[in-house]
Amino acid sequence: MTRAPFGARLAAAMDDHGPLCVGIDPHASLLEAWGLTDDAAGVRSFALRVMEAVGGRVAAVKPQAAFFERHGAAGVAALEEVVAAGRESGTLVVVDAKRGDIGSTMGAYADAFLRDGSPLAGDALTVSPYLGFGSLDPAVELARETGRGLFVLCLTSNAEGHEVQHARTADGVSVAAAVAARAAELNAGADELGSVGLVVGATIGDAAVRAGVELAAVRGPLLAPGVGAQGAGAAELAEVFGGARRQVLASSSRGVLRTGPDVAALRAAALRASGEASAVLR
């Protein structure tokens, strides 16, 4: 199947719907709040209700694979249904699985999440470069072949992240800056957004500056978790991303999901969040 590169498709989706990605995170507490059982059936109902509310109305959705996988084969089957629902509604699906390994194992992960015909293959996959960026080569190659994208962990908002991401290599460059530079190399020549993006937490303050990461130079999308309920608003987005704001795909999970289970309420929350993201980033 021939498709436009992920970066070009994402740029068009953000222009059409605003720069918002709705996270689909069926936490046990959210399932309870929605009156659903904490099992694969509850996860399936939760996820497909979110898709009913936002499908075709936001740039992307981001199902967190772990919350599906914890329920075994039936939970993974529910994740496959979310991927299919995104395809049917024309909504980009970023599968948040944060895969990272070496050699044939990384190749197998790539096959599962990036190969045409795989029921788990959305439009992009989150990956971890911390076994060395080169370990991601199987995913990079297959994503390029199939027109899919990658979001590479770069500057995360967890308190422990700086231990690795701000560490310096022998030539004095931070690990995060080295990751960003490799992504920029892969995006060279892209017409609009490249298809290799970074995950950059929306609540990290001036961490990019301190780590020497030039976000605008990446020329790829910047997936920004932490918008809304986790604390990032207009001021935080401006501080973190500065001149790279048009590259940002803001991710909101709890800020939208806590308004459920009513479909109309979910849809209104998502559209409100998308408008707020557009006002700041566009």
Local confidence pLDDT in tens for the 282 residues of the chain = 579 999 999 999 999 999 999 999 999 999 999 999 999 999 999 999 999 999 999 999 999 999 999 999 999 999 999 999 999 999 999 999 999 999 999 999 999 999 999 999 999 999 999 999 999 999 999 999 999 999 999 999 898 999 999 999 999 999 999 999 999 999 998 988 999 999 999 889 999 999 999 999 999 999 999 876 556 677 788 889 989 999 999 999 999 999 999 999 999 999 999 999 999 898
Residues with catalytic function: 98
pLDDT of amino acid 1: 58
pLDDT of residue 263: 98
Q: What is the pLDDT of residue 110?
A: 98
Contact between 130 and 155 under an 8 Å Cβ cutoff? The reply is: no
Q: Which two tokens stand for residue 148?
A: 């899919």
Rounded distance between C-alpha atoms, residue 237 and residue 136, angstroms: 28
DSSP output for 4-16: --HHHHHHHHHHH
pLDDT score at 155: 97
Alpha carbon separation from 141 to 138, 146, 193, 215, 261 (Å, rounded): 5, 9, 18, 23, 39
Q: Where are the beta strands (DSSP E) in the chain?
A: 20-24, 60-63, 92-99, 124-127, 149-155, 196-200, 222-225, 248-252
Q: Nearest-CA neighbor of 207 among 164, 250, 172?
A: 164
Give the start-to-end residue ranges of the domains of the chain: 6-276
Topology at the third CATH level for domain 6-276: TIM Barrel (3.20.20)
User: 189: how many CB neighbours lie within 10 A of its CB?
Assistant: 7
Provide the pLDDT for residue 230. Answer: 58
Model confidence, pTM: 0.96
pLDDT of residue 154: 98
Question: By CB neighbour count within 10 A (0-12 exposed, 13-18 middle, 19+ buried), where does 34 fall?
Answer: middle
DSSP state of 225: E
Q: In sequence order, which residues have a C-beta less than 8 Å from that of residue 222 and are 6 or more positions away?
A: 197, 198, 199, 200, 215, 241, 244, 247, 248, 249
Distance CA 61, CA 20 (A): 8
Asked if residues 188 and 210 have their Cβ atoms less than 8 Å apart, the reply is no
Give how far Cα 273 sits from Cα of 72, 213, 226, 228, Å.
32, 27, 12, 8
